[in-house]
């Protein structure tokens, strides 16, 4: 089976746009008041952001301004940008989706990330519905994306035991390009203290660089690639 397992590589970078999370915005609170709180910080999580959005308290134009500033800061590095997404998969939310699609088109970025979540719970249903909408809009704008993905349901616990099962499940769906979203990290990385997610970063790193991963990729019929390698028909 000729399939791609999309990952990051040295042919470019994906830009992880932030409207929520641990990092401060690039613009001032005066420029993007609907995106920040009293201390000038972004929303702490997607739950807080969506709550504001449902009340009509998020200004899409301010999203566009902040995301544009973030994109331009990456462009200054001179590294090709292969795709866009948003922190905590916020590109799924309709107003954020429209801004991300518009910026990808404006900046000539060829692809976006479309999250998938196969489970029987309200969050998974929401991801499925909004992911289908994101995929339709991306396709309509001529943007590429892997047709299948795994990541949310095993985030932070993808160890050597789970990895082969996850890749086998992806392979059985038979899509020409798929994505495995992972969160590897070093055990002594002090910067991770700001993430209170309970992720087993070291286990994911060990699983990905060890021989189990290479055997599992081959057994599933994949070849490793980057977003830059996505075939045009996706």
**pLDDT at residue 4 in the model:** 46
pLDDT digits (tens, 9 = 90+) for 87-113: 999 999 999 999 999 999 999 999 999
**pLDDT higher than threshold 60 for residue 126:** yes
Contact 143, 110 (CB under 8 A): yes
pTM of the full predicted structure? 0.89
**pLDDT at residue 152 in the model:** 87
Percent of the chain with pLDDT over 90: 60
**pLDDT at residue 193 in the model:** 73
Segment 51-76 shows an average pLDDT of: 96
**pLDDT higher than threshold 70 for residue 74:** yes
pLDDT grade, residue 1 (50/70/90)? Answer: very low
Task: Write the DSSP assignment of the chain as a string of letters.
Answer: --EEEEE-BTTBEEEEE-SBSSSPPSS-TTT-GGGB-TTSPBBSSHHHHHHHHHTT---HHHHHHHHHHHHHHHHTTTPPEEEEEEGGGGGGSHHHHHHHHHHHHHHT--BB------SSSHHHHHHHHHHHHHHHHHHHTT-B--SEEE-GGGTT---TTHHHHHHHHHHHH--SEEEE------TT-GGGGG--S---HHHHHHHHHSHHHHHHHHHHTEEEEEGGG--TT-
- The tokens of 82 are what? 């292969």
Segment 27-45 shows an average pLDDT of: 91
Count CB atoms within 10 A of the CB of residue 30.
Answer: 8
- Among 58-62, 96-100, 198-202, the least confident range: 198-202
Segment 55-61 shows an average pLDDT of: 96
**pLDDT at residue 6 in the model:** 53
- Average pLDDT of the chain, as a whole number: 89
**pLDDT at residue 26 in the model:** 96
What the chain holds in terms of domains, given with CATH numbers, is 3-229 (3.20.20.370)
> In whole angstroms, what is the distance from residue 169 CA to residue 203 CA?
20
**pLDDT at residue 2 in the model:** 38
> In whole angstroms, what is the distance from residue 8 CA to residue 116 CA?
18
CA distances from 51 to 20, 36, 228, 232 (A): 12, 13, 35, 37
pLDDT grade, residue 234 (50/70/90)? Answer: low
pLDDT grade, residue 13 (50/70/90)? Answer: confident
pLDDT digits (tens, 9 = 90+) for 153-196: 888 888 899 999 999 989 998 888 899 988 888 877 877 777 77
């Amino acid at each position: 089976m000729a399939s791609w397992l999309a990952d990051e590589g040295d042919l470019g970078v994906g830009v992880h746009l932030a409207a929520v999370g641990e990092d401060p915005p690039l613009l001032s609170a005066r420029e993007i008041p609907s995106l920040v709180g009293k201390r000038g910080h972004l929303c702490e999580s997607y739950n807080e952001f969506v709550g504001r959005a449902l009340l009509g308290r998020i200004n899409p134009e301010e999203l566009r301004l902040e995301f544009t500033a973030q994109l331009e800061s990456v462009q200054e590095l001179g590294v090709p940008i292969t795709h866009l997404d948003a922190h905590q998969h916020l590109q799924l939310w309709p107003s954020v989706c429209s801004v991300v699609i518009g910026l990808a088109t404006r900046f000539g970025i060829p692809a976006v990330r479309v999250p998938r979540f196969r489970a029987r719970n309200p969050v998974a249903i929401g991801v499925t519905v909004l992911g289908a909408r994101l995929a339709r809009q991306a396709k309509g704008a001529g943007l590429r994306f892997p047709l299948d993905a795994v990541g949310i349901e095993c985030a932070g616990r993808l160890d050597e035991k789970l990895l082969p099962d996850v890749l086998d499940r992806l392979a059985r769906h038979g899509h020409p390009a798929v994505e495995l979203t992972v969160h590897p990290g070093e055990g002594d990385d002090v910067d991770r203290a700001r993430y209170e997610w309970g992720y087993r970063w070291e286990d994911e790193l060990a699983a990905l660089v060890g021989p189990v991963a290479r055997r599992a990729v081959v057994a599933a019929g994949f070849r490793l690639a980057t977003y830059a390698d996505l075939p045009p028909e996706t």
